[in-house]
Chain A
Amino acid sequence: DVKVTQSSRYLVKRTGEKVFLECVQDMDHENMFWYRQDPGLGLRLIYFSYDVKMKEKGDIPEGYSVSREKKERFSLILESASTNQTSMYLCASSLGHGGATTNEKLFFGSGTQLSVL
């Protein structure tokens, strides 16, 4: 079964810190995604990547950047953390070449609950 692993389950950071969230998948998937999940708002797409070194903005990219240097790893970076970035962050991956337009199943990690104080 596909495994999507997020490096931290809980993270507490201070305003202005640079924050790295790491995600690794073990099934050679082409597509990887970062979402944030907030109560009442569901999942919102921050960034996605359909190939190594390729990235595209999602619906709420402001304040975030990403890095995909290797196929299995997709990192989300908060350049200068702010309190409104306190949220649950979910990484996901899918198999094919459709990018974020894929109709394929998404495999999710367990999430990182980030608190910015």
Chain B
Amino acid sequence: AQSVSQHNHHVILSEAASLELGCNYSYGGTVNLFWYVQYPGQHLQLLLKYFSGDPLVKGIKGFEAEFIKSKFSFNLRKPSVQWSDTAEYFCAVNARASKIIFGSGTRLSIRP
């Protein structure tokens, strides 16, 4: 069965620091990969997604993620975070003909 691991439960950074949130999945075949974000008091929304092609995917608000097939990883990155990036981030994966599975989430807190 496929699974998704987000090892960082809570990350605290200062503004302008660089961000990398880890996401690893367990499935040997072709997968679709997603990052969703939930800002305080708001609904979950899609940040970026990967289906095929260029493994470096750019999303909204300066975020990007890199799919590394050999490492079963899809880490989220941002070169310089802002206070407004404070949110909870969820990685999600679905294999072909399988349901979307979400990770446990990473809470990101940015110190002004």
A-B complex is real: yes
A residues adjacent to B (C-beta < 8 A) = 4, 35, 40-45, 48, 58-59, 90, 92, 100-103, 105-106, 108-111
Instruction: State the majority secondary structure of interface residues on B.
Output: loop
Total of A-B residue pairs, C-beta within 8 Å:
52
Smallest CB–CB gap between A21 and chain B, Å?
15
Given A102-B100, A103-B94, A106-B46: 15 more A-B contacts, CB < 8 Å: A40-B105, A42-B4, A42-B6, A42-B102, A42-B103, A42-B105, A43-B44, A45-B99, A45-B100, A101-B96, A101-B98, A101-B99, A103-B51, A105-B46, A108-B44
- Measured in the bound complex, the distance between the Cα atoms of B105 and A90 in whole Å is 15
Count of residues in B whose CB is under 8 Å from the partner chain: 24
What B residues does A108 contact at CB under 8 A?
Answer: 43-45
CB < 8 Å neighbour of A100 from B4, B90, B100? B100
Give Cα A102 to B46, complex, Å: 14
Nearest B residue to A94 via CB reads B100
> A105 and B43: CB pair below 8 A?
no
Q: Top 5 A-B pairs ranked by shortest CB distance?
A: A43-B102, A103-B32, A108-B44, A42-B104, A100-B99
Contact residues, B1-35 vs A (CB, 8 A) = 4, 6, 9, 32
Residues of B within 8 A of A35 (CB): 102
